[in-house]
Amino acid sequence: MKLKFPILKFLCALLLFSGIGRLCAQHENILTATLDGKTKEITIQQEFLYKNTSDSTLDVLYFNDWANAYANKNTGLAKRFAEEFKKSLHLAKKSERGYTTITSVVDDAYRGLPWERTKEEDILKIKLNAPLPPGESTKLFLTYTVQLPENKFTPYGYGKNNTYYLKDWYLTPAVFDGVWHLYSNKNLEDLYTETTNTTVNFTYPDSLYLASNFRVLGNTHFPNGQMAQLRGIHQKNGELILTPTNRFTTHVTEEMTIITDLEASKYSELSQGLSINRVAEFIDGHLGKYPHEQLLVSEIDYDKNKLYGINQLPSFIRPYEEQFQFEMKFLKTALINILEETLFLDPRKDQWLSDAIANYLMIAYVEEYYPDQKLLGKLSKIWGIRSFNLAKMDFNEQYPFLYMLMARKNIDQPLNTPNDSLTKFNQKIANRYKAGLGLSYVASYIGKEKVDNSIKTFYQYYQLNRAKILDFESILKRSTDRDVNWFFRDYVSTDWKIDFKIKKVEKTEDSLRVTLKNKAGTNVPISLFGLRNDSVVSKYWFSDIDEEKTVTIPKKDEERLVLNYDQKIPEFNQRDNWKSLGGFLSSNKKLRFTFFQDSENPYYNQVFYVPVANFNLYDGWTPGMRLYNKTFLEKPFVYDVSPSYSFREKAFVGSGGFTYRKYLSKSGLYVANYHIGGSTYHFQENSRYTTITPSLSFGWRPENLISNKRNFLSFRYVNVLRDKDENLGDFQTPPDYSVLNARYTSRNPGIINYLSWFGDIQHANDFTKLAFELEYRKLFENNRQFNLRFFAGKFLRNKTTDYADPNYFSFALDRPTDYLFDYGYLGRSEDSGIYSQQIIIAEGGFKSFLPERYRFSNDLLATVNTSVNLWRWIEVYGDAGFVKNKGVSGKFVYDSGVRLNLLTDYFELYFPVYSNNGWEVSQPNYGEKIRFIITVSPKTLIGLFTRQWF
């Protein structure tokens, strides 16, 4: 039966512009749910009255079933985790996963309704028995069971300490506004659902306490259980937190009622209450009245959107005062929850506006209550730290700093990029900070009061109602006479950089003629400050600078002019933002040496230094000093040299290089690197090698920046110079040589499927050789990982067979000679002892030491290396290959054994078992056959972390 409400529709139309009118067109939702504490299941009977508020007749309805996103490895959630190098859901047992079992779906005449799942399995498509015209309603009865997931994948589900966090746990209607908006759960906190008037009759174990964003109307206890009735008016989804202890407290302020369990162990409850009152008053003053009866602010919600930065350090070294720390933590969590509950923008496509409002208000809060707060907090006063430029940065300077971290790497993305197309760092940090900073930029340009009023007007008028970006844009434009089209056109909708410089200044008796250059071409306003003794004596705004513009300003005893002095504009390069008015010499940047890395200081040429120490068998420990100019933000030109001293050789050694990186575009051919580097160490006692290598490389990447796929084409010319101790005899190969090397590399390093290959060509005076390598890894659902590596190398010409050491430039089966000095051998010239047992998986990749006649190839080498894990880090491996030397028949070779993969690429052990040598475990001196990988590379360690974020 369909329900018609012509009178109600007429009243709603009359009341459309009032707060009451917004509550007319509502879905009605009644749930009877029972949580089983043993099975972790929720059985649900749901009665849903769906009202068609669109202009279209509907044949099908879609419901979000986000609890089913944990069901298998093919859901949108599982695929998102794989992109972020998380394998927990892929390897999870069925008992750990979450899923929804639909028992029945019927209409109000109790006729069954056909249903199916969409491709990613967390959207339910229900076909109606009869079309649903505009303005009419239909009632559905749904019976289903939700198996909760363990909360090790996301915060949702159940924890081992008998806690439950339920959000998006029941079926909710997808949004239809002429088209269906069907968004799968990708752990992005962006469920897009219609608002409903929802009643929940929730039965749960007697031992638990319940907190909710819905109003709790009553709670009834019965043997071994209890039932709570909850009500949400014009809300999207009921959030329930169940804990074995009652850790939530209720704060009733003049502005709103707040239920919270935010932790602050060193901050008294009374002080917490005062801080909550202050934050609630601030939010109410800048947004307006919160329309719901209570606001839930939980520690779980905060953990999903932390205050990223040094405040995440352990509590015993946390740099901020407890009051500031607590208030910022509470403010951020409360703002996100309030905007999510009341501002119904498309959370996947228009999330940037909610982020902009939240972060803008956080910036405003610090400006109002903590204007002197430093980014490093109390650490900025400590001797040895306070001299760093980072210690002098204000707290709010983190917003342009962390956004610029991505812009300088050329992986920033427009603010209006859909949430599920953002890289993790952009989605969690950079885009949110750029959004908030953008409103601060506009506020500085047109006036803070105008932006404040625009936000408040937008929130008050569109709260509890569907809104669009155009609604906010029209309100903001009506608030000012200045042009703000640039904000939505260029700042929000593109990834164009903002970069200005002061080209020149001409002084007259009473004025200054300043020529401003727009280096990036992005036509946005720029601020110009006049400073004297680091105090602002003048400030101006200039706009419509396409390329260059000369402006005249009055002279007010300025000592220097600075663009964007207050950091309100996320400018790409601030190193050329100032001009001194004291003459040529005073305009030159001074040299500043700083211990360890620091943030960029545009007024100095910074040189950083830090002690380093390396080790190899011949030089021993080589302490030295690393000198470089790389700041926390990437720079186009970087030099990095590490002069060191070898105490064993009593000689200077070291390495260094100069790199210029040019980003060409966002995708496709995106980067070019120009580099010249060199190194000099010892390869035997009193025997030195020196390399000088100019190189050029190009990189390609797909339009989808989340993709890990990269392709590179590199060219280098390796020049090797060697001097040998006379007592060790003459060189058996030319002491000096040069090799031209070109390589094309393709990498797609997924956590589930890993694929990497390269084609390589080397040309020198006496040889030309080709090589190809492919590496593939597959992680199965049972946690078995299969590894396959294939290598093939062929000499096109080879005159090295006449050398006294004919194998120096040959392909190696088990230990490459490394004539290009690419590998980190601890003892590269050793052929016995522990150092000779170090293995680097390259060329043949064999682990066993086979007879000398098979270990090298001056013609053709082809090998296959495989391994599979038996239990955790214990694996079995097997290698097979074909070795062919000139004038000799080819030989089939093989080996096998056990691999202890303790830390991939860092510490691994190989125990040979059977090979061409026979049963190696039964042969003498077995300890000399064991091979090991040991690597200490901070760059690679950092990469294990950054691959999840960048």
Same-domain status, 488 and 504: no
Tell me the CATH number at 881. 2.40.160
The string of pLDDT tens digits covering residues 700-714 is: 999 999 998 999 999
Domain that holds residue 526: 500-588
pLDDT attached to residue 894: 97
**Proportion of the chain above pLDDT 90, given as a percent:** 80
Q: Are residues 424 and 535 in the same domain?
A: no
Q: Are residues 552 and 479 in the same domain?
A: no
Predicted TM-score (pTM) of the model is 0.91
Which pLDDT score, from 0 to 100, does residue 190 have?
A: 93
753 and 824 together in one domain: yes
Looking at residue 937, its pLDDT comes to 55
How much is the pLDDT for 16? 38
Q: What is the pLDDT of residues 251-263, one digit of tens each?
A: 999 999 999 999 8
Say if residue 520 is in the same domain as residue 554.
yes
Which of 187, 207, 227, 162 is closest to 31 using CA atoms? 227
CATH code where residue 334 lies: 1.10.390.10
| pLDDT at residue number 941 | 52
Per the structure, the count of domains in the chain is 5
Q: What is the pLDDT of residue 942?
A: 56
Is residue 845 within 8 A of residue 910, CB to CB? The reply is: no
Q: Establish if 847 belongs to a structural domain.
A: yes
Whether 264 is in a domain gets the answer yes
Sign of CA dihedral 629, 630, 632, 633: positive
863 and 942 share a domain?
A: yes
741-761 mean pLDDT: 95
- The string of pLDDT tens digits covering residues 59-76 is 999 999 999 999 998 899
Average pLDDT over residues 426-441: 96
Which of 494, 515, 542 finishes a domain? 494
pLDDT for the residue numbered 14: 40
Please check the confidence at residue 18 and state whether its pLDDT lies above 60.
no
Compute the average pLDDT of residues 450-460: 97
**Can you give the pLDDT at residue 604?**
87
pLDDT for residue 88: 86
H or E stretch covering 882:
strand 874-884
Q: Are residues 124 and 219 in the same domain?
A: yes
Pick the last residue of a domain from 662, 685, 700.
662
Whether 2 maps to a domain, the answer reads: no
Asked if 570 and 613 sit in the same domain, the reply is no
The model's confidence at residue 266, banded by pLDDT at 50, 70 and 90, is confident
pLDDT at residue 902 in the model: 86
Q: Is residue 5 part of a domain?
A: no
Tens digits of residue pLDDT in 462-480: 999 889 999 999 999 999 9
Q: What is the pLDDT of residue 581?
A: 87
- Section 903-919 average pLDDT: 91
Per-residue confidence band for 10, with pLDDT thresholds at 50, 70 and 90 = very low
The CATH code of the domain that includes 517 is: 2.60.40.10
Name the band, by pLDDT with cuts 50, 70 and 90, for residue 939: low
State which H helix or E strand residue 228 sits in.
Answer: strand 225-235
Tell me: pLDDT of 13 over 60.
no
Distance CA 31, CA 53 (A): 22
Average of per-residue pLDDT values in the chain: 91
Residues 260 and 375 in one domain: yes
- The pLDDT assigned to 17 comes to 38
Relative to beta strand 257-260, strand 295-297 is: parallel
The first and second tokens of residue 562, run together, are 């600075």
Read off the pLDDT of each residue in 276-295 and give the average, rounded to a whole number.
96
Evaluate if residue 696 carries a pLDDT over 90. Answer: yes
Same domain, 285 and 423: yes
| One domain for residues 645 and 519 | no
Cβ proximity of 248 and 258 under 8 Å: no
Answer whether residue 539 is part of any domain.
yes
pLDDT at 872: 84
17 falls within a domain: no
User: What's the pLDDT score for residue 2?
Assistant: 39
Position 266 in a domain = yes
Using the predicted structure, report yes or no on whether residue 513 has a pLDDT greater than 90: yes
Domain boundary among 247, 282, 311: 247
d(CA 221, CA 243): 16
Residue 5, pLDDT above cutoff 80: no
Q: Is pLDDT at 500 greater than 70 in this prediction?
A: yes
Q: How many percent of the chain have pLDDT more than 70?
A: 94
Residues 84 and 112 in one domain: yes
Residue 3 lies in a domain: no
Q: What is the pLDDT of residues 180-217, one digit of tens each?
A: 999 999 999 999 999 999 999 999 999 999 999 999 99
